[in-house]
Amino acid sequence: MSENELIALDGMPALPVSEDEFKDIVSGDFLPRIQVVDSASKVCKKKQAEAGNYALVRAEDDVVDLTNQIDALVIHMRFTALDFNTEPPTFSHERKSEEFQRIEEESKVSNSGCMWGPEFLLYVDSVKTFATFFCASATARRESKNIVKLMRKAATFKTHYIEKGKYSWYGPLIVPCSNEFDLPPIEEIKAQAVKFANPTSSEVGEDAPKSDRER
C-alpha cells in the first residue's frame, strides 16, 4: 500500500480518464498561459512560483513553477487586445480595428484594465503542453521581435533582471534553442495552430491576467 492510500483497492475498474485528460476536460477550450513571474504578481505573493521564473497557469489554483528557463517550439502568433472593464472582457485580434486601437490607447493609462501585444502559441517541452505567451508589457513587446525570428523553431525562454531608476522587474529574454525534445504529432500541432489563428468569443478565460503591471 502506498503512503497516501487509505485502503488497498486492487482489482478496481480503471478510471475513465487519465489525470492529464481530466485537466483537459476541466480547462475547456482555454489553453494555459505562460507568464514571467514578477514579485508584485499574485502568483508570487501566493508562493505558487518564484519571482524571475516562468509559470504555467491553468487556473488560479493550478500553477506550475517552470524555473527561470524553458524550451519551447514557437508555432504561431496573433495580435491581441484585452479590455477587462466589461463582462465578459472585450477583446480584439484585428490590429487595425477601432476596438483594438481604443484598447491599445487606453492601456497607456496605469491600471486601466486594458492590455495589448503579440500573443504566441507555444509547445512547452518540460510540461508537454501547448500554451500561450502574451507579450502585454512594454518589456515583453520589445523582446517579442526575437520570438518572431524563431517562428516554427525551438526557442529557449530565459528571464533577466531589469533596473530603471527606482523601479526593477523581470523580463523575458529569448534565444535560439540547441536542445532536442520530442514533439507531438504534426497533425496535433497544425490543429492547435488553426484553432489559435481562428479564435472564438469564448476564449478569454476567467484567470486571464487582469492586473499585471505594464513596464
d(CA 17, CA 175): 37
pTM of the model: 0.81
What is the residue type of 83?
Answer: D
Paired sense of beta strands 33-36 and 129-134, if any? parallel
Express each pLDDT in 139-180 by its tens digit.
Answer: 999 999 999 999 999 999 999 999 999 999 999 999 999 998
Residue 41: per-residue pLDDT? 87
> Where exactly are the structural domains of the chain?
30-197
Q: Say if residues 126 and 115 touch (Cβ distance below 8 Å).
A: no
d(CA 5, CA 16): 20
